[in-house]
Homo-oligomer: A and B are copies of this chain.
Amino acid sequence: MTFARMWSDLLPVGRAGDGGYRRFAWSAEDQVLREWFAGEASVRGLDLVTDRAGNQWAWWGAPDATPGVVTGSHLDSVPGGGAFDGPLGVISAFAALDLLRERGIQPARPLGIANFVDEEGARFGVACAGSRLITGALDADRARGLRDADGGTLADALSRAGRDPSALGRDDEALRRIASFVELHVEQGRGLVHTGDAVGVGRMIWPHGRWRVELRGEANHAGTTPLADRRDPMLDLAGLLRRVRVAAVQAGALATVGKLQVDPNGVNAIPSRVTAWLDVRAESESAVHGVLAALADYAPDQDSWTPVTMFDADLADTVADALGGSPRLSTGAGHDAGILAAAGIPTAMIFVRNPSGISHAPAEDAEEADCLAGVDALAAALERLLA
């Protein structure tokens, strides 16, 4: 069947020996994924449109006359990511469109399928860059100057991928075409395991932010500097790592140090500096602030902040009704759906059960039966919205 065929098309792209994926925006792997998307649009006779940021849109019907219902997700990954985060939403979108056509549905509105570029921000550091650019939440000049780990800019990467960096910017034409957006996504927790449901409907995205902590020391020779004369930032790091966990438990928040940079990072050198990146999220903004207050001694520097995002209540009700009533879930993960919601577009999310709750890792998984239930749910929701 088509769902399985699309899934096996994507499985080998950017896959490492340990099963983890590396599908960074505007990389060679990303180009393969973009061509795959264009191919799926083409075999279905959909019109392929690429917006100013490079997001791909496959349209059934003409969205310039009547704004359409859009579904989809992204195809890029974090380093060492799983197979489902992103691709499940894009494959399910095509599969749901196939179901609607098989059932002979004649939509009263256009249906669009989206592939948002650079949702993970794994290469250039800004998550949901594609949706942020077209909504104006990410400034085009700032975006062009973002650098990857090799020091190359996004502008260079766009040029090498055959795109014009000067085209970046808010895209009102793309936005006007979206009457509503429904993103299907693998759950990144075990909420649906606890309720016993294959699918659920999103309620809100937690407020979340990123901070950077610089721990300064004094570089010196590891073999000759007495312990009493050292200013070793690794000891401060030990304190910070413990304090982050304690603060998260006390505030009822999630707080993570997932990234470190040690300078100069030599085996026989006491470091001159350790930089730690801190990710904090919680159901309430006050809980996030509670974590930061407990870390004030470390003078954390804010890199990004996203307030709480509520999905559209009416749209969520419509989707939940189409699913025959289903649990509502909040999530700590950011999504393009959240960016569009913040830009005033009615937006909903459908989550598919994840047995382990693991995401952003090779063990990320979903049962095939649950994925197919997700396609059914998405098709049912789209049928109502297109009527």
Contact = CB atoms under 8 A, between A and B. Distances in A.
Interface of A: 20, 78-80, 122, 125, 127, 188-190, 206, 208, 210, 218-227, 229, 232, 234-235, 237-239, 241-242, 245, 248-249, 254, 256-260, 262-272, 277, 279, 281, 331-334, 357-363
Given A220-B358, A268-B279, A242 B248 contact: no
Contacts of A208: 223
A223 to B, nearest CB: 4
B219 A361 contact: yes
B242 A270 contact: no
A79 B245 CA distance: 33
A363 B218 CA distance: 9
Contact of A223 (B248, B281, B361): B281
A258 B262 contact: yes
Given A218-B361, A225-B254, A260-B260, 15 more contacts: A20-B264, A79-B265, A190-B229, A218-B358, A218-B363, A220-B358, A220-B361, A221-B359, A223-B279, A223-B332, A224-B359, A225-B359, A234-B257, A237-B237, A238-B241
A213 to B, nearest CB: 12
A272 to B, nearest CB: 7
Contacts of A222: 254, 256, 258, 279, 281, 360
Nearest to A271: B258
Q: Secondary structure of the A side of the interface?
A: loop
A279 B221 CA distance: 11
A385 to B, nearest CB: 27
A262 B259 contact: yes
Given A232-B256, A254-B227, A220 B264 contact: no
B223 A334 contact: yes
A224 to B, nearest CB: 4
A223 B333 contact: yes
Nearest to A243: B238
Given A219-B80, A219-B362, A227 B245 contact: yes
Nearest to A265: B259
Contacts of A272: 80, 361
A222 B188 CA distance: 10
B264 A225 contact: no
Question: What 7 A-B pairs have minimum CB-CB distances, sorted nearest first?
Answer: A219-B361, A223-B332, A188-B224, A222-B256, A238-B241, A79-B264, A221-B359
B258 A267 contact: yes
A210 B268 CA distance: 9
A125 to B, nearest CB: 8
A125 B268 CA distance: 11
A257 B363 CA distance: 31
B210 A267 contact: yes
Contacts of A260: 260, 262, 265
B264 A248 contact: no
B359 A220 contact: yes
